[in-house]
Chains A and B, each alone.
Chain A
Amino acid sequence: MTRAEFIDRLKEGLVGLPTATANDIIADYQTHFDDGIAAGRTEAEVATALGDPIRLARELKAEAGIQRWHQEKNPSAAAAAVFAVLGLGALDILILLPLLMGVVGTVFGFFIAAIALFICGGVIMVAGPFAGFPGGPFAAILMGLGLMAGSVFIGALLAIFTIWLVNGIVWFARLHYRLLKPALESSPVQSTSTSGVSA
């Protein structure tokens, strides 16, 4: 594999990362090639020693996704981290996915329920005093407030659980990172392109 091929494949693999991060990563590998060539190695030798660019890109992407999740705890960062980690192929998706779907579905259901409860509480608080709520208007307002507070509590618990869940997946995936081996038997693409160059 030549330097250009390696960098191209790496770039392809990094699509989806913020441009600044991707450029930073690519600059690292460009420097690596510069250093290797300065040390008297050929481009092909350096590329071989570096390993498979596609697999490297996956690990770098997963790492960037995890880092973003640590910085900003929001749904999109969570989804990005989980998908990047799944992209590693480190987790056994066939086993994990049904399980994950079940858990995500349950959490989502609770979340909807919390929202419904909140709205319900609001309606009772506002409309109850005028609709002849048993126990008088004051009870209606208290009841509504109580329901709303309860739903906020459930929502907060769900958020904590979700954060814990994503952290757990990330932790599990990191345990299963595989050490890269030099991409010696990289692919038939490589052999055809090198023969094309030599011919």
Chain B
Amino acid sequence: MDINRRAEVPETIEIQLKKGVLGLCVLALLNRADSYAYEIASRLSDAIDMGEGTIYPLMRRMQSDGQVETYLVESSAGPSRKYYRLTEAGRGALAAQTAEWSAFTKAVDAVVANDADQGAAK
């Protein structure tokens, strides 16, 4: 029974975690280079296993929050493609979230490493 409960919890944690960092990942990717939705989605779904479709609601939200903006680029084949780039506000959000994220992971690492040491000592 205890095992069952343990099996359930990590999944919610996993979902919540991914949900939280997805925006940060997109900001980081766009900070390196402007990109289009398919590229962002496929890179992130490789890295953090998520439904690729999620990228579109997220991009719309970031756009309405003013963190990213779009522009069209002519492509050699087919219709022109919609690229996303960071705005000033987006860069600000990236800096703030990166700081939050590294503080958080450091704190968690410290706790987990401490736990592992004690486990090894026993």
- Chain A residues engaging chain B, CB cutoff 8 angstroms: 25, 28-29, 31-32, 34-36, 39, 46, 49-53, 56, 59-60, 63-64, 66-67, 70, 177-183
Contacts and interface: CB of A to CB of B under 8 A. Distances in A.
B38 A51 contact: no
A30 to B, nearest CB: 10
A67 B62 CA distance: 11
A49 B37 contact: no
21 contacts: A29-B53, A31-B81, A32-B37, A32-B38, A34-B78, A46-B52, A49-B52, A50-B52, A51-B53, A51-B54, A59-B54, A60-B60, A63-B60, A63-B61, A64-B60, A67-B60, A70-B64, A179-B15, A180-B54, A182-B52, A183-B51
Interface in B14-28: 15, 18-19, 22
Most A-side CB within 10 Å, residue of B42, B57, B60, B82: B57
Contacts of A179: 15, 18-19, 22, 50-51, 54
A6 to B, nearest CB: 9
A69 B80 CA distance: 31
Contacts of B53: 29, 32, 49-53, 56, 180
A60 B57 contact: yes
B56 interface: yes
Interface string B2-14: 0000000000000
Contacts of A56: 53-54, 56-57
Interface residues of B, number: 23
B83 to A, nearest CB: 12
Contacts of B45: 49
Q: Which 4 A-B pairs have the closest CB atoms?
A: A51-B51, A180-B51, A50-B53, A35-B38
A140 B61 CA distance: 54
A28 B56 CA distance: 8
Helix, strand, loop or mixed for chain A's interface?
helix
B41 interface: yes
Contacts of A52: 51, 53
A63 B56 CA distance: 10
Contacts of B57: 56, 59-60, 63
Nearest to B48: A179
B54 to A, nearest CB: 5
A108 to B, nearest CB: 30
Contacts of A59: 54, 57
A32 B41 CA distance: 9
Contacts of B42: 39
Contacts of A29: 53, 56
A46 B42 CA distance: 10
